[in-house]
Amino acid sequence: MIRYLSQTIESVHTMRTTFSFDQKRTIATLSAAIAIRMLGIFLVLPVFTLYGERLTDSRPLIGLAFGSYGLTNAMLQIPFGRLSDRFGRKPLLLISLALHGVGSVLAAVPPNIFALIAARLIQGTGALSSVAFALVADSVDEKNRATAMAFLGASIGLSFVGGVLVGPIIADLSGYASLFWLSGLLSLLAAVYVAVAVKEPPREPTTTDVAGARPSISSVLTNPDIVKLDICGFLMSFFMSSFFFYFPLLARQHVPLQSYYLLLGPMLLTGIIVMFGASRASDKGWAKTAGVASFIVLSISGWLLFRDNGLELQIHPFTVLTIAGMLFFGGFSSLEPILPSLITKASPKTAYGTALGTYSSLQFLGSFAGGAAAGFLSTLGMGYILIALLIATVSGMLLMATIRTV
């Protein structure tokens, strides 16, 4: 996400000179709508575990609630991608936003942890990621697609930065539930904005409009690069959910809730600076190398966070947590734009929705698995989550190293 911010700063002039007026309008309006929706999601990330502790003492159930959003999102990414290929992107965007809004409201008023899990499952039915990226891909030609996706990603990146910084402050002032009420309101605003401002480009008649001739999921998954990238998306999101499950538990040992920005601010700022170099390397055809490096950085972050207590460093724990967070944000923010970009390069144009749907499904399934695993493994000890994260990052390195699409 942070990489998108740095890439966008470099791409503003390109936006002015490369895209037509209609393309600029589509990119700008869709970016704004997605930013509004994603802000509601990111507000909750740094404090969700603390919210769950208000309802239960069971870490496994809190982890299940944290990750359950990703489970239903994973289940619906492929169907929504397929339906958007056939019936258009905009209707599916509106349905996704409405479902997420309903789930957010229910998550604000759960009587117990099981109701929160159910609400999170409903939230996850708002599966719009593959549809949004496919709409951008539809709107611009291939040579300008990376720049267009950078602008869409920049809106997500800004929402991410704003959400994780402001979320703890709002939770401290108004309570944890207020974040879910705000998330529901933002989904409603995004839906209205999409309905009014987003215009889907005319679809070109193709043989894939005939149901029997449409590219199947199995045909997309016969491409080995797509399969590898899908798995990398799973592993990246597994790490992300594990990090944010534990972050508030680690942070509260050093700073109060309203001061989380003292930790998150340097993490985000350093990530933005570091990602300028990664952005340029990726744009010059070094995406695979950047991907491998990102997984290496994540592995170092995981070791710093969850190493055995006997391996104490001669550094204050607050500083260690900050450095680990910087590494996490750097590695994660590098991978998030690289992987979907490579997916579109490996996929035929008529199957963007399907290919991005399979990728997003694995990505959100990773979010579910990471949250659930973090909750369960927390009952066994830090060493177990460290082993899980190292297996994930090493697997990601090996998969990225064998990608042929660049």
Query: Which band of pLDDT confidence, cut at 50, 70 and 90, is reported for residue 17?
Result: very low
Q: Which amino acid is at 164?
A: V
**C-alpha of 45 from chain center:** 11
pLDDT for the residue numbered 5: 47
**Is the residue at 209 inside a domain?**
no
pLDDT for the residue numbered 223: 82
Sign of CA dihedral 230, 232, 233, 238: positive
Averaged over 200-228, what is the pLDDT? 66
**Residue 387 scores a pLDDT above 90:** yes
Query: Which band of pLDDT confidence, cut at 50, 70 and 90, is reported for residue 48?
Result: very high
Query: Which band of pLDDT confidence, cut at 50, 70 and 90, is reported for residue 211?
Result: very low
**Is the residue at 207 inside a domain?**
no
Averaged over 292-320, what is the pLDDT? 82
Q: Which one, of 293, 323, 330, 294, lies nearest residue 307 by Cα?
A: 323
**Residue 383 scores a pLDDT above 70:** yes
- CB-count burial class (<10 Å; 0-12, 13-18, 19+) for 216: exposed
pLDDT for the residue numbered 267: 85
pLDDT for the residue numbered 34: 77
Largest CA distance in the chain: 65
Main-chain dihedrals φ then ψ at residue 254, nearest 5 degrees: -125, -35
**Residue 209 scores a pLDDT above 60:** no
**Residue 45 scores a pLDDT above 70:** yes
Query: 252-273: b or e for each residue (b if 16 or more CB lie within 10 Å)?
Result: eebeebeebbebbeebbebbbe
Averaged over 37-46, what is the pLDDT? 84
Query: Which band of pLDDT confidence, cut at 50, 70 and 90, is reported for residue 366?
Result: very high
Please give the share of the chain, as a percent, with pLDDT higher than 70: 83
pLDDT for the residue numbered 36: 78
Query: Which band of pLDDT confidence, cut at 50, 70 and 90, is reported for residue 397?
Result: very high
Show the domain range for 254.
2-200+216-401
CA 123 – CA 370 distance, rounded (Å)? 17
**Residue 378 scores a pLDDT above 80:** yes
**Residue 266 scores a pLDDT above 90:** no
pTM: 0.83
Query: Which band of pLDDT confidence, cut at 50, 70 and 90, is reported for residue 308?
Result: low
**Is the residue at 177 inside a domain?**
yes
R_g of the chain computed on alpha carbons: 20
Residues 88-143 pLDDT 10s = 888 888 998 899 999 999 999 999 999 999 999 999 888 777 787 778 777 777 66
**Is the residue at 210 inside a domain?**
no
Element (H, E) at 352: helix 352-377
pLDDT for the residue numbered 265: 86
CA 264 – CA 286 distance, rounded (Å)? 29
The answer to whether 328 touches 298, Cβ cutoff 8 Å, is: yes
**Is the residue at 146 inside a domain?**
yes
Q: Measured between alpha carbons, how far is residue 120 from residues 62, 105, 123, 159 in Å?
A: 11, 10, 5, 20
**Is the residue at 206 inside a domain?**
no
Range with the lowest mean pLDDT among 92-96, 120-124, 216-220, 277-281? Answer: 277-281
**Residue 181 scores a pLDDT above 90:** yes
pLDDT for the residue numbered 9: 44
Query: Which band of pLDDT confidence, cut at 50, 70 and 90, is reported for residue 394?
Result: very high
CA 3 – CA 185 distance, rounded (Å)? 28
How confident is the prediction for the chain on average, in pLDDT? 82
Query: Which band of pLDDT confidence, cut at 50, 70 and 90, is reported for residue 214?
Result: low
98 vs 313, which has greater pLDDT? 98
Give me 167's structure tokens: 């979320």
**Residue 176 scores a pLDDT above 80:** yes
Query: Which band of pLDDT confidence, cut at 50, 70 and 90, is reported for residue 198?
Result: confident
**C-alpha of 142 from chain center:** 23
Query: Which band of pLDDT confidence, cut at 50, 70 and 90, is reported for residue 274?
Result: low
- Specify the CATH number for the domain of residue 92: 1.20.1250.20
Averaged over 17-22, what is the pLDDT? 67
Residues 6+ apart with CB under 8 A from 402: 228
Total number of domains in the chain: 1
Averaged over 208-229, what is the pLDDT? 70
Q: Which amino acid is at 74?
A: A
